């Protein structure tokens, strides 16, 4: 009886292992295999080991392609991500700090306004029109401001939840010590918001780095290319060189992965904490 139970436990474990591995790992192995093939072999689209291992050669070809276009794309994406995320964290935390502490009419009206941004997608052509009128269309600055506006509501929500776990006595104590609002914010509140900041930094930077729609509409132009758009132009230019296309997939997927691995431990606890409380 006991033996039977045990073996069915192992069988279930094996079944789960195979099922999840097939569904979630095979596509990534396929990407790596394709990225290591010659263009002739890759054209067969088979799930097989390459006869010659050309992984590094293909990576190099992708990076060199188009006068080192990939470098420009990674640089642009990094600038966009770092710039937007830095502004988002400061703006959203300032907002969440005051609105969670005051809880008056103004706070709740402004909060509901921001929450609309969580639901409603941006109006594409009117936004382009606005950027053109401000003479910042096709500029990194314009794109950063758009991303700040679009991704800030989520950050504000996370920070507000986290603010409610920071006791008000702390503000009071620093006030009695003679601290100004800005000192309280930067030296008391921000350090305590760290877990929430990690959550916001990781999720928002992965989302902005991988964002395709924003740069497609608001940052067109060859010199403005970002990481996901390198893939898109690859399809139209080299629809037959699958090996290079997949090498390109590998290159643009590495940075989000690094961000994630770097913060993984703090992220899971931050996300779990937020979800439980929220």
Partner 1 sequence: MKKNTIQKGLLKTYPNWFYLPAVITFAIFFVIPTISAFYFSLTRWTLFDATFIGFDNYVSFLSDPMLSIGLKNTFIYAILTSGLKTVLALPLAVMLTSNIRFKGFYRSIVFFPVLVSTIAVGITFSILMQPNSGLINVVLGSIGLGQPDWLGNPKLALYSVVFVDVWKGIGIATVIYMAGILAIPNDYFDAMKLEGGFWIRFRHVIIPLVRNSTFTIILLSFIGGLRSFDLIWAMTGGGPGFASDVLTSVIYKQYQAGFYGLSTAGNVILFIMVTVLIFPLRRFFNSREIEL
Closest CA to 192 of 214, 168, 223: 168
- Distance of alpha carbon 219 from alpha carbon 226, whole angstroms: 9
For 75, other C-beta atoms within 10 Å of its C-beta total 13
| Cβ 60 to partner 1 shortest distance, Å | 19
Closer CB to partner 1, 30 or 55, in the complex: 30
Closest CA to 102 of 10, 14, 168: 168
| Cβ 20 to partner 1 shortest distance, Å | 6
| Cβ 194 to partner 1 shortest distance, Å | 19
Closer CB to partner 1, 54 or 174, in the complex: 174
In terms of phi and psi (left: phi > 0; alpha: psi -120 to 50; beta: otherwise), the region of 45 is left
| Cβ 110 to partner 1 shortest distance, Å | 6
Tokens matching residue 206: 């992965």
| Cβ 30 to partner 1 shortest distance, Å | 6
Q: Is the CB of residue 144 less than 8 Å from the CB of residue 186? A: no
- Distance of alpha carbon 261 from alpha carbon 257, whole angstroms: 6
- Distance of alpha carbon 5 from alpha carbon 37, whole angstroms: 46
Run of H or E including 67: helix 55-102
| Cβ 129 to partner 1 shortest distance, Å | 6
């Amino acid at each position: 009886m006991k033996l039977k139970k045990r073996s069915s436990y192992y069988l279930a474990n094996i079944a789960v292992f195979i099922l999840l591995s097939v569904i979630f790992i095979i596509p990534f192995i396929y990407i790596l295999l394709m990225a290591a093939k010659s263009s002739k072999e890759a054209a067969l689209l088979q799930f097989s080991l390459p006869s010659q291992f050309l992984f590094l050669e293909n990576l190099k070809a992708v990076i060199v392609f188009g006068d080192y276009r990939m470098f420009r794309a990674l640089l642009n994406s990094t600038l966009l991500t770092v710039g937007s995320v830095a502004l988002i964290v400061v703006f959203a935390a300032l907002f969440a700090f005051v609105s969670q502490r005051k809880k008056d009419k103004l706070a709740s009206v402004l909060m509901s306004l921001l929450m609309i941004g969580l639901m409603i997608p941006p109006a594409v052509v009117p936004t382009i029109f606005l950027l053109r009128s401000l003479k910042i269309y096709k500029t990194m600055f314009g794109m950063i401001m758009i991303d700040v506006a679009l991704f800030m509501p989520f950050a504000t929500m996370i920070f507000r939840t986290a603010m409610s776990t920071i006791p008000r006595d702390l503000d009071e104590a620093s006030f009695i010590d003679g601290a100004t609002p800005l000192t309280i914010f930067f030296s008391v509140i921000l350090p305590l918001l760290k877990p929430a900041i990690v959550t916001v930094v990781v999720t928002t930077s992965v989302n902005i780095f991988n964002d395709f729609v924003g740069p497609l509409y608001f940052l067109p132009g060859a010199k403005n290319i970002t990481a996901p758009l390198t893939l898109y132009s690859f399809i139209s230019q080299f629809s037959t060189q699958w090996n290079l296309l997949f090498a390109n997939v590998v290159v643009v997927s590495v940075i989000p992965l690094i961000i994630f691995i770097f913060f993984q431990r703090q992220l899971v606890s931050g996300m779990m904490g937020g979800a439980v409380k929220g």
